[in-house]
Amino acid sequence: MIWVETIVNGILLGGLYALIGLGLGFAFGVMRIVNVAQGDFIVAAAFIGVFLYPWTPVHPILVIIPVALIAFGVGMLMQRFMINKVLGQDQIPQILLTFGLAIVLRNGMVELFGANSQSINVGNLRFWGFDFLGLRLGVLPVVILAIAVVLFGGLRFWLNASKTGRIIRATADDYQVIQLLGVNYRRVYSIAMGLAMALSAVAGVLLAMRGSFTPYAGADRLLIAFEVVVIGGLGSFWGMFIGGIVLGVTQLVALKIDPSSGLMYGHIVFFIILILWPKGLSSIFRSGMFHK
């Protein structure tokens, strides 16, 4: 039973990992942008959450809303005034630009908040648990998994059902053709980046609620995001969710066997999947982010 509980808790952790990769995967799926600063933006959102949660009414978990709104605005402005200027077939300028943003963000967070570990105090919610079919599960991890499922499902539904979502999907398919219909693809890119940053902000706040973090945690978060996206398959929607689950289960099972392993076995599984299925797990079930 202890192994079953470990696997279930790995699935719960995988929900958070899937959210960490969702913003990066969404931005790449729409704009083919590799945002090297994604991990540091996640950590920055966590710091904003730490700053705002004392003034959050009702319950600290609602701090997700203002942080996501702030991140949406920052993402739109960043895309409009910075990334749109280096768009093109060559991705090197985009990578260099976001790499520079990552350095500025990291040093700025150290200057403003210091290098000590921080977390969002959600009170007893972090320690509450319940019994389910003989398993002991934490309330907060279950809430995080539920939020992940809602965001993945809600985003997929919105992309398929709303006018803006369909425009984003069409722009992702061919931004040149969409201009013939009078659509400003750069404006669409700004909205898409705002959404990507808002999704990453949600992951950052939940990360701060589940554990602690430092300004230097961005590199680890970026690595997890890349692995989630690649395991799922570039452009795959639910593939990313499965990628997060794979990493979460692998990490907790490995820690049960070897407590000093850290994320090592997760990286090994990522490498094995990359060899066996270079196009990711989505190549097995052919699930795309922007196609039904």
Alpha-carbon distance of 133 to 135, in angstroms, equals: 6
How does pLDDT run across 136-159, given as a tens digit for each residue? Answer: 888 999 999 999 999 999 999 999
What does the block give as tokens for 223?
A: 């690595």
CATH fold of 2-285 reads ABC transporter involved in vitamin B12 uptake, BtuC (1.10.3470)
What does the block give as tokens for 85?
A: 């200027």
* Predicted pLDDT at 263: 81
Alpha-carbon distance of 256 to 241, in angstroms, equals: 23
Alpha-carbon distance of 40 to 221, in angstroms, equals: 8
Alpha-carbon distance of 241 to 186, in angstroms, equals: 28
Contact 230, 280 (CB under 8 A): yes
* Predicted pLDDT at 283: 67
Dihedral of alpha carbons 75, 79, 80, 81, sign: positive
Q: Report the predicted TM-score, pTM, of the whole model to 2 decimal places.
A: 0.91
Q: Between vectors from CA 282 to CA 281 and to CA 287, what angle results, nearest 5°?
A: 160
Query: What 8-state DSSP symbol labels residue 213?
Result: B
Alpha helices in 32-91 (DSSP H): 38-52, 64-81
Alpha-carbon distance of 82 to 70, in angstroms, equals: 18
How does pLDDT run across 193-224, given as a tens digit for each residue? Answer: 999 999 999 999 999 999 899 999 999 999 99
- Exposure string over 116-134, b if 16+ CB within 10 A, otherwise e: eebbbebeeebeeeeeeee
Residue 276 is which amino acid? Answer: L
Give the pLDDT of the chain (292 residues) as one tens digit per residue.
688 889 999 999 999 999 999 999 999 988 888 899 999 999 999 999 999 988 877 677 889 999 999 999 999 999 999 998 888 777 888 899 999 999 999 999 999 998 899 998 887 877 888 888 788 888 999 999 999 999 999 999 999 999 999 999 999 988 888 988 889 999 999 999 999 999 999 999 999 999 899 999 999 999 999 999 999 887 677 889 999 999 999 999 999 888 887 788 888 999 998 898 888 887 665 545 554 4
* Predicted pLDDT at 289: 53
- Pairing mode, strands 135-138 and 129-132: antiparallel
**Displacement of CA 13 from its chain's centroid (Å):** 13
What does the block give as tokens for 51?
A: 């700053």
Dihedral of alpha carbons 25, 29, 35, 37, sign: negative
Alpha-carbon distance of 115 to 194, in angstroms, equals: 28
Q: Which residues contact 260 (CB under 8 A, 6 or more apart)?
A: none
Report the mean per-residue pLDDT for the chain.
Answer: 89
* Predicted pLDDT at 82: 92
Dump the DSSP string for 118-146.
B----GGGGT-EEEETTEEEEHHHHHHHH
